[in-house]
Each structure stands twice: as C-alpha cells, then as structure tokens.
Structure 1
C-alpha cells in the first residue's frame, strides 16, 4: 500500500503538462511581492498568465528568460517555475527564507534527470535528497528529515514518480496540499533576472583553503582588472593538480600569465604536442585544454573552462571561487541585454559539460554539411536506442523519417513529451497501466524501466535537435544532448562515433 499523498501527486504529475521539468518552492511568512523579489523578479512587473505568455512569445524556443508564478495555499506562498531551477539554488532559497519565517523548501526536476528535494533553514541548506537515489544526501545536516521519510516511495518505489515522494514530504512539512488544477488557476507571473551565484559556495564557507591571501584579495575585489590574475592563478592550480606544472611549455605559459604577458604564439604548437603526448590520459588532456583556454582564448567563460576535474579539495574550492569571481566581474561589466526579436524556429538544450564536447566541436566544424547531417541522424538514433525508445510504435516512424531526411511526424514537442511520461512508458513497455503493475515485473525489468524513464527526455530533445536548419549547429546540439542521454556511458558514445566516422 503506497503513501496516499504520494499516490495523489503521482497522478497529478502524470496528468500535468508541466510534469517533465519544474521547480516548486514553499515559503511562509511573506507576501507575493517579497517572494518575487527574492527570486530576482520585479513585483511591479507581475502579469496575468496570458500576458506573461505573450511576453515569452518574443523569445526563441529554448532561450526564454526564467519565469515564476506564485500561488497562495494556506499560510504558504508557493513559487512555481516551469522548466526552471531557481528555487533549487541555495542563493535563492536563502533569500526567500530570509524574507519569510526562515524556512524554504523545494521540489525540483529537470529534463536531464536531476531530481532533488532541498530544505533550508538557519541560512544554510540543511539537506538535499536525491528523489531517485534517496541514499544520496548532502547539506549541513543530511539526516535532518529522516524521521519524516517513513513510507515515502522515493526511487520509483511502487512505480511511483520519484518527485511525487518529494511533494508528499513537502506536504508533511507544510501541512498544505497542492491543488490538482494548480497551473490552470489565474496565478500572477513575472519574468526573472537571475540571482547571481554566491562567490563562495555554501559548503565552502569558513574553510581554510579560502584564507589564501590571493583568494582573499580576489574576493574583496572581483573586478575585470583582476581577471587576468585570476586566470593565471587558476591555470597553475590545474597544472599542479595534474602534475604537469614541470612541463616546459606549461612553465613558459604560466610564467607569462603571472607576469601579465600574452604567451608567445609558438607555444600553441607545443601545447598541441603535449596534448597528443598525454592522449589516453583523459584528465591530462583536459588539464592541457583548460590551460590552453586560459592562455589563448578571448572569451572569458572559455578562459575559465572546467574540463579538468581538480582532485585536491583545497585547489578545487579555490578554482571554483576564482571562476565565480571572474564571471561575476564579467556580468557586472556587460551592457544590458536587449530583448531579442521574435523567432519561432526551435533551438535546443545547452551544450554538454562532457570533456569530449569541446574537442569534438572543432572536428565537427571541419566536416562537410552532408556528413554533419549524417552524423546528427546517427546520434539521434543511438540516443533513442540507449533510452530504449527505438522499438516503441510511435518512435519507429520518427526514426524512419529521420533516416530519409523527412520532417519528424510529430505535431509538437509537448505531444512527444506526453509519450515519455512515466505512466506512458510503463504502458508502452508492459502493456499495463501504471496502477496495475503491482509485483509483475522482476527487479531487472524495474531497473531497465527506471533507466528508460531517466534517459528518455534527453533522447527526445536529441531527435528534435537534428532539425536545426544549420547542419553544423544541428550536429553540435545533437551531440551535446546525445552525450547527456548516454549519461554514465558517454565515453562509449564518443568511441563509437570516432570508430564509425573517423
């Protein structure tokens, strides 16, 4: 017998068009205006749902600004973000809690599979629980809510959508239930200006690594004038952590950066040689790539790229803080962004953070358009195969159309995302409604089904990415979301791609 509240929210998420990606935040002791301001919105700019939709129509698909709608349920204000994530961030939860009675909590899910319940009080994130793998906890007091978790079906237990357990936990804490027709109500909404990241991550506060004199100076003055010094210091952290700081080319580059000089152009060739020499050592290759970006890239975000995963915890924290300081300086110095002209053609999800993305992007750019299209279509098919969607009745015609270069036979994206809800995938796979599964599946069948549900959203985005009219952009975006679909096995996809297409 499942938890009644979790069963209720499971039905709600199955029926809700917003159920694929959302963040719902609960705060008490404040009004709409204070909640909107805490999220980075202007309370004076609150609009009706119809007016807000009209504003968003002026943006390219996938590039719409973050938005928020606000509901009042009992004593609680509820902030709802469709395909948004601000309420999952400590920076935002802290502001909301401070404007209210000191407590804020959120239930979050995105299309890439990240799914978390967050609880903040006392100006600290006390616990973050992974809905899918509830044994994964973080925060100041990860076990704080354990007494309230009994009977909640996290991790697809009882074939319940994991976020339903998160909403049931929120109900236990708040005492309020979200109405089934929540998003059909006339709720005020607002466009958000994103709240900047903290310069120091919440978990890094007070740690000795940040007492380093240079880091202290940068925190006190995160300005564009100091960005070159930040890039130099961070590049040395990476080279030392990768045990490459004795390589002559890196010695020369680091000395130039620390002297405020541009590294000599001929060092590029030596960097390429070093990159080839450490081939087979992915971490070493990534370290060389990041130092090269710090030395020669004109783009600030590239100069602080993060392909290399720093192993030493002190160096890692220092590198994170310096990157945040640099991006903060860049953001403050940038001119205001004007609203783009209305554009209707679909674009895609953000680029993957997988280390192969940057390396392959340069190779992709050298290919002919015909090859770019061919590889895009192959990647989309492999994404569908990895997600276990390729044998479904609705997917086969789409893959056949893809192979022929014909338009995809879908009326719109929403129609496809309804086909990959947990309930729809269970029925498509087993022939049974979700509520009739009971104990008819083996543990392996359940695990396979969970994996399919996790991977399906990015696979669907991947197939839509192939339709971009620009073959190069289609390939870049398709590769990024295919990597996300192969989460945990992305290296296999890269190996297969290289073997097939060179």
Structure 2
C-alpha cells in the first residue's frame, strides 16, 4: 500500500464515523442526509424543516424506523421526518432515507444566519457535501466522483485534507459509504463536527410534516 493510499484509508476507516456503515444508519441502501448548523437550538432546527410541533416525540432510531406513521415514508412521499441532536456547537437534523435539508432549501435558508454543513447520500446519482455560510456556498463537493469536483472560496482551507482523504486529486475505488466516512472525517478535523453513533441512534426528539416546503423564487 502506498503512503497516499494509507492516508486515504485512515480517513475512510475513521473509528468515530464507521458506525455509519452499520444498521441502523441514516444512510440506508439508497438515500440519507445530515444537516448540521452551528449554534442553533433544537427547536430552531425543527422550525427550519417546518416540522409540526404536535408530532414531535422522543424515539430511538429503531423505534422510529418501526413506527407505523414513519416507516412507510418515501423519498418523495410524506411524512417528511427528522431526528434532531445537539453535539457541541452543532445541531444536526438526521434524515433516514430522505434528503430534504438540501433538496427543499433548508440548509441554504439556515446559512443566512449561521454556518451549515449538509451531507447527502444518494446511490441513484451522486452523494454531495455542501458547506455554506452567510455568503453562500463556501465549498461544494460531489462525493466519490471520478473527477475533481470541489469548488468554492473555502477550497484552499479544505484542499489538503480532501486530497489526503482520497476525495480530490485522483479517484479512489471504495464503497460509497467509505467515501461518506472519509468526508465526515475531514469535516470533524476542520469544522469540529461530531456525531457519535449512540447519540444518532439513541433517544432523540423526532417529528414530521406532511407537506413539502415551498420557497419564493
């Protein structure tokens, strides 16, 4: 194994994030999303996703995935649901099998008042990383693409770690979720994001809405 391959493996096998490969995981066989926002409260995150307050209950991930009101949710079909946790300075909305934080503009709206990181897992297209600030998209990355896709004014800050992680500067052949683990490892090192598996899958406030979010053009 070359030095570069060994470094990339350190990121893609980061023990702090390998739990993402085990069930239950937000990143199921098709879709999933994590939307982190710095220094906002849990209630603010629910409001940003327009979650109906009366639906919010404390559930484990296993309970939520077996819940009669949530288990039949589809990628495009309601209920649109999230679990929310705060770890350190970051509050995260956890979507199992859905990606509304990105696709319905929640992350972009939150970035008007704080730093936001969105990581989407999508096996039908490409997974993606968006790092947003009040000035807009600071870094965008197509995760695991066989070409260099990173762009944005924050790229110089991230570039060396992205290269070391095998996410930039040459394709690394590995399973899609290993690319996600490498991405989360980079984010931990550079912006301080953490999310232990026992927090993500333990008891958390969980709620939903039945309507799509529509925003003014």
User: Per the shorter chain, which TM-score range?
Assistant: 0.7 to 0.9
Alignment partner, residue 12 of structure 1: 19
Q: Residues of 2 paired with 1:195 and 1:111: CA distance?
A: 23
Are residues 1:42 and 2:47 paired?
Answer: no
Are residues 1:32 and 2:42 paired?
Answer: yes
Q: Residues of 2 paired with 1:122 and 1:14: CA distance?
A: 32
Q: Residues of 1 paired with 2:99 and 2:137: CA distance?
A: 16
Q: Residues of 1 paired with 2:172 and 2:215: CA distance?
A: 35
Are residues 1:82 and 2:92 paired?
Answer: no
Aligned length: 195
User: Is the CA contact (8 Å cut-off) linking 2:132 and 2:138 kept in structure 1?
Assistant: yes
**Any idea what the Cα deviations from partners look like across 1:206-246, whole Å, max 9, x if unmatched?**
xxxxxxxxxxxxxxxxxxxxxxxxxxxxxxxxxxxxxxxxx
User: Is the CA contact (8 Å cut-off) linking 1:24 and 1:108 kept in structure 2?
Assistant: yes
Q: The residue matched to 1:195 in structure 2 has which SS?
A: coil
Q: Structure 1 pair 10/128, CA: closer, same or farther in 2 (3 Å)?
A: same
Which consecutive residues of structure 1, in runs of 5 or more, have no partner in the other structure? 200-502
Q: Residues of 1 paired with 2:205 and 2:122: CA distance?
A: 23
Alignment of 1:378-457 (within 5 A): none
**Any idea what the Cα deviations from partners look like across 1:314-367, whole Å, max 9, x if unmatched?**
xxxxxxxxxxxxxxxxxxxxxxxxxxxxxxxxxxxxxxxxxxxxxxxxxxxxxx
**Any idea what the Cα deviations from partners look like across 1:245-278, whole Å, max 9, x if unmatched?**
xxxxxxxxxxxxxxxxxxxxxxxxxxxxxxxxxx
TM-score calculated relative to the size of structure 1: 0.35
Alignment partner, residue 372 of structure 1: none
Q: Residues of 1 paired with 2:134 and 2:184: CA distance?
A: 22
Q: Which has the larger radius of gyration?
A: 1
Alignment partner, residue 205 of structure 2: 188
Which consecutive residues of structure 2, in runs of 5 or more, have no partner in the other structure? 1-5
Q: The residue matched to 2:204 in structure 1 has which SS?
A: coil
Q: CA RMSD in A?
A: 2.9
Q: Which is strand-richer, 1 or 2?
A: 2
Q: Residues of 1 paired with 2:84 and 2:122: CA distance?
A: 20
Q: Which structure is richer in relative contact order (CA contacts within 8 A, separation 6 or more)?
A: 2
User: Is the CA contact (8 Å cut-off) linking 1:23 and 1:80 kept in structure 2?
Assistant: yes
TM-score calculated relative to the size of structure 2: 0.75
Q: Residues of 2 paired with 1:23 and 1:91: CA distance?
A: 13
Q: The residue matched to 1:126 in structure 2 has which SS?
A: strand
